[in-house]
Structure 1
Amino acid sequence: MSEKRTFKNLDLEYRLFKERVYVAFALLVLLVLVLIARMFYLQVYQYEVYSTRSDKNRMHIRAMPPTRGLIYDREGRILAENLPSYNLTFVRERAKDIPEVVDTLAEILKLDETGKEEITKQVYSRRRPFQSALLLSQLTEPQIAAISVNRYRLPGVEIEAQLIRHYPYGSMLAHVLGYVSRISEKDLDNLDASEYAGTYYIGKSGIEKQYEQALHGSVGVQTVETNARGRVLQVLDEDLPSPGKKLQLHIDANLQQAALRALTGFRGAIVAIDPQSGGILAMVSTPSFDPNLFVSGIDSKTYRQLITSRDLPMFDRSIRGNYPPASTIKSFMGLAGLNEGVINKNTTINDPGWYQLPNDDRLYRNWKRTGHGAVNLKRAIVVSNDTYFYSLAFNLGIDRINPFMQRFGFGLNTAEDLPQASRGLMPSREWKKIHRKTSWFPGETLSVGIGQGYWQATPLQVATAMAVLANRGKWIKPRLVKSIGGEEIPVQLPDTPADIELKDPRYWDQVIDAMVAVVHSDRGTAHKLGDRIEYLIAGKTGTAQVKSIKQDEVYDESKLAERHRDHAMFAGFAPAYNPKIALAVVVENAGSGSATAAPIAQMVFDEYLHSAKIKQEIFDQELRP
């Protein structure tokens, strides 16, 4: 039986193959068209969206902090500068596991628990997204090496080269300049975040705080390209920051140093003013502190020692220390008596060693128990007679003393750029009624008459009053800053107190002549200075009582604790008839003003008046006998 065979239908298979090929090709073309359409949509219609997303992945806007303005003294000596430093910074958004990064840093840098807590605090501090936080400043070379080797373990951590504030004179100008320190959470509430982006430091006190806006400058902006790890590959664009303005102060660094040297070993203050410009030439408060400790972050132990010290090194005695002005104000009391017609230059009293109010058994003692006998105004100032000024104060009354003394700046803050300065206290009948809820008593007027009682004044106020006296009533506001960015601050300012015009201009000479005799006559309380100087000083010593004693008790310094002893004071100006410098000296618990404060004042006068610029002007003048 023959086998049945089936032959292939080649035409049918060919047609089937062609159909499949066409279908596959059509599908391929369709897919290509879809892909092209999608690509067109993404690249044309969605270009801006995805371009922006791409730029955000590789491009970042970084703030460029400005360079802080420098501070100079009157002769161009640099007082506050910027030194290069390597800082450790951290961008929180670039780290997946922040606690792990902190632990790794603590391990690498061998930080104790306190150091680790401080870094953690900075890591989580409030700031803008992708803005770096300052963890550590002034890195050492070993620290930089350790971090560089372990950088792969520290995402978001960078080492940045920046300028950091430095005070070359250290503690000498700490209270004047103040210091900068890290921006705190509290600071952020009062700052324009955009202006301080990328800035880690801000002025905390003194000139650094008062002139923060001028010193800081304006922030810049930089567009950079980064890789996936945040490393900067290139700078694409930048708008450079504007540096802070330089400040020039009236402070004379050499005079400041001499004043500090004169106060070495004492607690106290010295303020020296140029009467012609109002410029503060020296402003010393001792003891002091090193402001450089605060720039990069002071350790808790050192800070605790500063704020708990009995000597109060961070307290600025020159502008915030309130002391009874004591006998340094007797010259002003004399002017008040002359101007009000209560006395004239020849008015004389007999001093038995005490003064007694009518119908009062209490005796108000003169410092010399046996008295000075017949005393007129000049002799009362020369020998610092208390009895004369008790009588004068009683006849003037507190209602005339208060407004007259305010004209010299007592009870007010008249400084141009020291808003933190104390106003002191110039007591009045109204003040006592408000604050003490009682009436004013005549005996309190007597105490005010010799600069005691409720009357409190800062060394700055006493120096300012002496500058006004040296100018014979012409007011020029005291100020620290001489120029900002090269632009001089005018001598006369809109809010300057009114000049003091006395009923008779000769009253100025009568009082100043008496102050010259304090130093240059044999009976003056500061006569020991007169033989050692080549120019005339108009001065007044003072001894401010700290602890009161009983009426019939004799003051015995040896029986008192050191901090209960009297303050030594001196105030005056020189040369007496061509004034170049007015000053006030307070030495806490140092006893007699003539023995302690007056020699210190002479050291300051000598340093300034013997300088090459001033000397020729001084010794060409006509000196009165």
Structure 2
Amino acid sequence: MTEIRNVAADIARFKRRVIVIGLVVLTAFSLLCLRLAYLQVVRHEDLAEQAENNRTAVVPVVPNRGLILDRNGIVLASNYSAYTLEITPSKVADLEETIDGLSSVIEVGPRDRRRFKRLREDSRSFDSIPIRTRLSDEEVARFAAQRYRFPGVEIKARLFRNYPHGEIASHVLGYIGRINQTEKAAMEEWDDEDYDNYRGTEYIGKLGIEQSYEKTLHGLTGVEQMETSAGGRAVRRLNGHPATPGNTVMLSLDIKLQKMVEDMFGERRGAMVALDPKTGEVLAFVSKPTFDPNLFVEGIDSESWKELSESIDKPLLNRALRGTYPPGSTYKPFMAMGALQTGKRGPNVQINDPGFYNFAGHRFGSPEGNIGNVDMRRSIQLSSNIYYYSLANEMGVDLIHDFMKPMGFGQITGIDIGGEVRGVLPSTEWKRNAYKRPEMKKWYAGETISLGIGQGYNSFTMLQLAQATSIIADGGHKHRPHLVVATRDTVTGKTQPVEQPPVDDLHFAPANVAVVREGLQAVITGGTARAVFTGAGYVAAGKTGTAQAVTQAQNTKYNAKALEEHQRDHALFMAFAPANDPKIAVAVIVENAGWGAGAAAPIARRVFDYWLLGQYPSEADMAAIKVGKASAPIGKPRLASEAAWPAVAAAVAVPAAAASAPAATTP
């Protein structure tokens, strides 16, 4: 049967379908055009930037760290660049297998593995951590040929800090080390400008000048825009601006004097601070034993750290800044000044010294024995304990405290390196706060007696003793001790002096200062230090001292041979010279060395000879001083100008490959 179709209806239906499809196509095409217009016009800049970022990387350029110089321009801290082999743990599937594989290409020793493990514990998984440093050109070439085997491992060029004189002045300079997690968290609290300036920086100052002048030494971070391949490898440099090196820090320290003093200590422990009494500049700042700051630059290994941290000699302790000691008889000149200034005792008052002092049923002895009547000048010259026992009793602990506090005893001096400790300047209030048990909080009158001879609760640093000595030397003027005298801009070359606080005048009466100075001069010309200063080409003023390291039972005779070496008395000496126009003031302690005139005063004598006369100890003299068997100089002294500057330590010489390595870190 024939099908009858409605042709007109079919055509109409077809036209409707064509129209619908046409509208759909037109709508889709319109949407495509709108999207294209949106991407090409509205989001053009954003997408162009993203595209640019896909082929480029912005890399921070860490600046060269600033130099540290002594007062004569001798470089104490510098930089060199060297290649390092680094691993990013997050990019490595099997870390141990990777390190084992690297060992077949480049030597990776047990020490390198230990250091890597320790650094990894202080770092995040996506941080790049060095496994080997200071690679030779041959090692770099060997790894480059095998690089495809080690994803997540790269050769980088990094800046390394170098302390060319090794252990000399290490407690002053400090060292730099890798930023740990605690320091990273603290840096996040910095303002944006400072925080941004440390992008890419992995090492900062940890101690000493390196820490206190960190931002001055760091410099300004630069940037480089690099074109990269699909695999993230740098292809070429497109744009950027260079880093600005850190500024140079110039110290008041004389490195030749510093080395001379460190050598004179030999294997003994102790500290010495030498100041310019008219400015507060630190001329030498010695703590023995020392350590090599180069050990910390790449991350110190566990064996070296254990040796330093567990040594009974405590080489990491800055004894000049953080070691506290009873001042012994070196405290007596300051007690005399306190008596004069407060009116408690005049200079001509005679006190009988029979060799003992009785107070409240207790007998306080004196090693000097019966020396008869002494006035203030002779009490200093002959170091009369009895004179100062009675003076301490008359003044009382709180008056002693109130006089000594402005002189800096038991106070923070404000020197420009961190870590300074306060020590103890006792008072009734101090004891109430220091102890918890009620019976311990009370101050007993008998405790005051030993304060007069620098014993008891007294405990001060050599920096504090040197500052107080400088105050006497400069007639009652107090200067803040400081190591940094100026900074030099690396771009302009301009030297900018570091401003110091105004001088604090303690208003000492000139007549009172003269009395104390006369007593101190008498120590040198006719007292306990007479033999040490025989033949000196100047007149000095000083005071020897001996301080107990451990408390001896009352009425027990001191016998050094019966004690362990670390329990024997300390030897101290404070002095300034020339007496009539002081140019240098020193405080010295030689731990457990006994008598101040035998161990500490000879060191001060050679310091004065160097600074005032330009003389350097003869080899025979130096050998005698090191073992505490020197008095006046032995043999003919050398000219200080002809003595060699401290030699650059061979152990930290820059490898040949390092000298040619680029300073910037490559991406």
Give the TM bin, normalised by the shorter chain.
0.7 to 0.9
- Distance in 1 (CA, whole Å) between partners of 2:395 and 2:121 is 64
Q: Kindly provide the amino acid, as one letter, of the partner of residue 363 in structure 1.
A: R
Q: Which residues in structure 2 correspond to 1:501-540 (within 5 Å)?
A: 501-502=507-508, 504-521=509-526, 524-540=527-543
**Which of 167, 171, 176 is 2:167 aligned to?**
171
Greater Cα shift, 115-124 or 537-546: 115-124
Q: Kindly provide the amino acid, as one letter, of the partner of residue 388 in structure 1.
A: Y
Residues 108 and 116 of structure 1, relative CA distance in 2, 3 Å threshold: farther
String of CA shifts for 1:268-313, please: whole Å, max 9, x gaps. Answer: 0111001121111101111111000100111111111110000001
Q: Kindly provide the amino acid, as one letter, of the partner of residue 229 in structure 2.
A: N
Partner SS, residue 572 of structure 1? strand
Residue aligning to 1:234: 236
Residues 96 and 286 of structure 1, relative CA distance in 2, 3 Å threshold: closer
Deviation at 1:188, TM superposition (A): 1.0
Asked if structure 2 preserves the Cα contact closer than 8 Å seen for 1:123 and 1:135, the reply is: no
Structure 1 vs Structure 2 CA RMSD: 2.7
Deviation at 1:132, TM superposition (A): 4.8
Deviation at 1:610, TM superposition (A): 1.9
Q: Which residues in structure 2 correspond to 1:504-583 (within 5 Å)?
A: 504-521=509-526, 524-583=527-586
Greater Cα shift, 80-89 or 156-165: 156-165
Asked if structure 2 preserves the Cα contact closer than 8 Å seen for 1:543 and 1:591, the reply is: yes
Residue aligning to 2:496: 487
Q: Kindly provide the amino acid, as one letter, of the partner of residue 83 in structure 1.
A: Y
Q: Kindly provide the amino acid, as one letter, of the partner of residue 148 in structure 1.
A: A
Q: Kindly provide the amino acid, as one letter, of the partner of residue 572 in structure 1.
A: A
Asked if structure 2 preserves the Cα contact closer than 8 Å seen for 1:258 and 1:607, the reply is: no
Asked if structure 1 preserves the Cα contact closer than 8 Å seen for 2:59 and 2:224, the reply is: yes
Deviation at 1:159, TM superposition (A): 2.0
Residues 548 and 519 of structure 1, relative CA distance in 2, 3 Å threshold: same
- Distance in 2 (CA, whole Å) between partners of 1:595 and 1:367 is 16
**Which of 459, 471, 478 is 1:468 aligned to?**
471
Asked if structure 2 preserves the Cα contact closer than 8 Å seen for 1:138 and 1:296, the reply is: no
Residue aligning to 2:4: none
Residue aligning to 2:602: 599
- Distance in 2 (CA, whole Å) between partners of 1:113 and 1:82 is 26
- Distance in 1 (CA, whole Å) between partners of 2:464 and 2:598 is 23
- Distance in 2 (CA, whole Å) between partners of 1:128 and 1:220 is 25
Residue aligning to 1:615: none
String of CA shifts for 1:456-478, please: whole Å, max 9, x gaps. Answer: 01010000100111011011100
Residues 39 and 547 of structure 1, relative CA distance in 2, 3 Å threshold: closer
Residue aligning to 1:247: 249
- Distance in 2 (CA, whole Å) between partners of 1:103 and 1:361 is 76
Q: Kindly provide the amino acid, as one letter, of the partner of residue 499 in structure 1.
A: D
**Which of 147, 152, 155 is 2:151 aligned to?**
155
Partner SS, residue 336 of structure 1? helix
Say whether 1:499 aligns with 2:502.
Answer: no
Deviation at 1:84, TM superposition (A): 2.3
- Distance in 1 (CA, whole Å) between partners of 2:603 and 2:114 is 47
Deviation at 1:73, TM superposition (A): 0.5
**Which of 55, 59, 78 is 2:56 aligned to?**
59
- Distance in 2 (CA, whole Å) between partners of 1:416 and 1:546 is 26
Deviation at 1:569, TM superposition (A): 0.3
Partner SS, residue 531 of structure 2? helix
Q: Which residues in structure 2 correspond to 1:267-416 (within 5 Å)?
A: 267-357=269-359, 360-368=360-368, 370-416=369-415
TM-score (norm 2): 0.81
- Distance in 1 (CA, whole Å) between partners of 2:63 and 2:157 is 14
- Distance in 2 (CA, whole Å) between partners of 1:553 and 1:91 is 65
String of CA shifts for 1:497-525, please: whole Å, max 9, x gaps. Answer: x31113x320101110110110112xx01
Q: Kindly provide the amino acid, as one letter, of the partner of residue 362 in structure 2.
A: R
String of CA shifts for 1:318-375, please: whole Å, max 9, x gaps. Answer: 1111100011011110111112222212111111110112xx221111122x311111
Deviation at 1:600, TM superposition (A): 1.2
Q: What is the aligned length?
A: 572
- Distance in 1 (CA, whole Å) between partners of 2:206 and 2:547 is 33
Q: Kindly provide the amino acid, as one letter, of the partner of residue 347 in structure 1.
A: V
Residues 441 and 121 of structure 1, relative CA distance in 2, 3 Å threshold: closer
Deviation at 1:195, TM superposition (A): 2.3
- Distance in 2 (CA, whole Å) between partners of 1:335 and 1:124 is 55
Q: Kindly provide the amino acid, as one letter, of the partner of residue 517 in structure 1.
A: A
Partner SS, residue 105 of structure 2? helix
Asked if structure 1 preserves the Cα contact closer than 8 Å seen for 2:545 and 2:595, the reply is: yes
Deviation at 1:115, TM superposition (A): 4.2
- Distance in 2 (CA, whole Å) between partners of 1:255 and 1:161 is 36
- Distance in 2 (CA, whole Å) between partners of 1:257 and 1:350 is 45
String of CA shifts for 1:379-431, please: whole Å, max 9, x gaps. Answer: 11001110000011111111210010111100101133133111111000111
Residue aligning to 1:621: none
Residue aligning to 1:452: 455
- Distance in 2 (CA, whole Å) between partners of 1:527 and 1:433 is 43
Greater Cα shift, 265-274 or 133-142: 133-142
Asked if structure 1 preserves the Cα contact closer than 8 Å seen for 2:123 and 2:180, the reply is: no
Q: Kindly provide the amino acid, as one letter, of the partner of residue 376 in structure 1.
A: D
Q: Kindly provide the amino acid, as one letter, of the partner of residue 181 in structure 1.
A: G
Asked if structure 2 preserves the Cα contact closer than 8 Å seen for 1:85 and 1:163, the reply is: yes
Q: Kindly provide the amino acid, as one letter, of the partner of residue 490 in structure 1.
A: E
String of CA shifts for 1:198-237, please: whole Å, max 9, x gaps. Answer: 2221101111011111111121111100112322111111
Deviation at 1:539, TM superposition (A): 0.3
Asked if structure 1 preserves the Cα contact closer than 8 Å seen for 2:207 and 2:418, the reply is: no
Partner SS, residue 532 of structure 1? coil
Residues 59 and 103 of structure 1, relative CA distance in 2, 3 Å threshold: farther
Partner SS, residue 266 of structure 1? coil
Residues 39 and 336 of structure 1, relative CA distance in 2, 3 Å threshold: closer
Say whether 1:83 aligns with 2:85.
Answer: no
Deviation at 1:133, TM superposition (A): 4.7
- Distance in 2 (CA, whole Å) between partners of 1:420 and 1:56 is 46
Residue aligning to 2:20: none
Uncovered stretches (5+) of structure 2, i.e. residues with no partner: 1-25, 189-194, 489-494, 616-667
Q: Percent identity?
A: 39
Q: Kindly provide the amino acid, as one letter, of the partner of residue 200 in structure 2.
A: G
Deviation at 1:448, TM superposition (A): 0.6
- Distance in 2 (CA, whole Å) between partners of 1:349 and 1:511 is 17
Asked if structure 2 preserves the Cα contact closer than 8 Å seen for 1:106 and 1:116, the reply is: no
Q: Kindly provide the amino acid, as one letter, of the partner of residue 431 in structure 2.
A: K
Q: Kindly provide the amino acid, as one letter, of the partner of residue 362 in structure 1.
A: H
Residues 98 and 218 of structure 1, relative CA distance in 2, 3 Å threshold: farther
- Distance in 2 (CA, whole Å) between partners of 1:117 and 1:558 is 43
Q: Which has the larger radius of gyration?
A: 1
- Distance in 2 (CA, whole Å) between partners of 1:220 and 1:557 is 61
Q: Kindly provide the amino acid, as one letter, of the partner of residue 160 in structure 1.
A: K
- Distance in 2 (CA, whole Å) between partners of 1:327 and 1:600 is 18
Partner SS, residue 236 of structure 1? strand
Partner SS, residue 343 of structure 2? coil
- Distance in 1 (CA, whole Å) between partners of 2:197 and 2:453 is 52
Residue aligning to 2:224: 222
- Distance in 1 (CA, whole Å) between partners of 2:115 and 2:233 is 26
Q: Kindly provide the amino acid, as one letter, of the partner of residue 363 in structure 2.
A: L
Residue aligning to 1:203: 205
Deviation at 1:42, TM superposition (A): 9.2
Say which structure, 1 or 2, has more relative contact order (CA 8 Å, 6+ apart). 2
Asked if structure 2 preserves the Cα contact closer than 8 Å seen for 1:326 and 1:450, the reply is: yes
Residue aligning to 1:5: none
Q: Which residues in structure 2 correspond to 1:170-189 (within 5 Å)?
A: 170-189=166-185
